[in-house]
Chain A
Amino acid sequence: MAFNYKTEFQRYRRYYQSLEPTFTKPKSRAYTTIIFSFLAVSLFGWYAIRPTIQTILFLQREIRDKTELNKKMEDKIAALIEAQAYYQEVEPLLPVVDQALPTIPDAIPLLIQLRNLASRSGTLIGAVQLPTIPLTGQEIGPAGKDAKLSSPGANKEHIYDLSISVRGSYPSIRTFLEGITQMRRIVSVDALAVIPMKADFEGSASAIPSSRVLQLALKLKTYYLVE
């Protein structure tokens, strides 16, 4: 159907003419002004004022953040320079940290140290019990649950238990215990029991003097730090 502009014009003219008396009323005019003012402010507020103020606030915040960041970076650079000086000073001492807290379980070197300590202190190692522990410090499977790979505090620290039983005289056992507390490798005594030995052991051919032979059962905890 062709668009007849004459009839359409007349139709819209009638509409506008019918609206005219409504807008001539002061109350309607006031209402219309207020309504359109609110709508206009809302519209421009959302599409014009909000992005502008948002950009201003974002830039202000960025300036503040960058200034603060710059100051923190300068502080950190100064601290790093200072730390480097300290590090160079203590660098020769650092391997002892690895000896105290190795990055792998290092069970064999620990056992060797305990054996050397026992021979130095004049005690005899009766038994040593180790849980299943990973050689490389990686997590182990379900078979190695006894290794007690717990993680106190940081999840990089690992603990495993070690039970050892030694026998000897009171002074030698005491020396052995003191040696454990003075070992560079961090070993803590979790539990200990001192049991007097039976007479049949005392009569046997042994390097230990037969008088007052004691057995020391120790439960130790040792640590390593997985990097």
Chain B
Amino acid sequence: MDNDRDLLLISVFTFFTVGLWITFELLKTSRTTTVSQSTQQIVVPLTAKIDVDTLTAMVNRKVF
């Protein structure tokens, strides 16, 4: 009878271990992005505005 109980405990722990492992694997899969690093760099937002005021101020400065 003790043997049966031991086997049951082992199987229950195996079940929970495998269950937790599967859960973490699935969490990792759902959290990990599929976009590559180079693509992420490409899509970095671009500010289209050019600071014309600064450019004008630089033009107004003198070259001796």
Contact = CB atoms under 8 A, between A and B. Distances in A.
Interface string A21-45: 0000001100110111011011001
A97 interface: yes
Interface string B19-62: 10110011001101111000100110111111010011011011
Given A120-B64, A183-B61, A184-B63, 5 more contacts: A28-B4, A34-B8, A35-B7, A36-B11, A83-B50
A69 interface: yes
Give me the 5 closest cross-chain CB pairs, A-B, nearest first: A82-B48, A38-B11, A184-B61, A116-B64, A72-B43
Interface residues of B, number: 39
B52 A31 contact: no
Interface string A127-139: 0000000000000
B45 A31 contact: no
Interface in A73-98: 73, 75-76, 79-80, 82-83, 86-87, 89-90, 93-94, 96-97
A86 B45 contact: no
Interface of A: 27-28, 31-32, 34-36, 38-39, 41-42, 45-46, 49-50, 53-54, 57-58, 60-62, 65-66, 69, 72-73, 75-76, 79-80, 82-83, 86-87, 89-90, 93-94, 96-97, 99-100, 113-114, 116-117, 120, 179, 182-185
A98 B31 CA distance: 45
A73 B15 CA distance: 45
Nearest to B19: A45
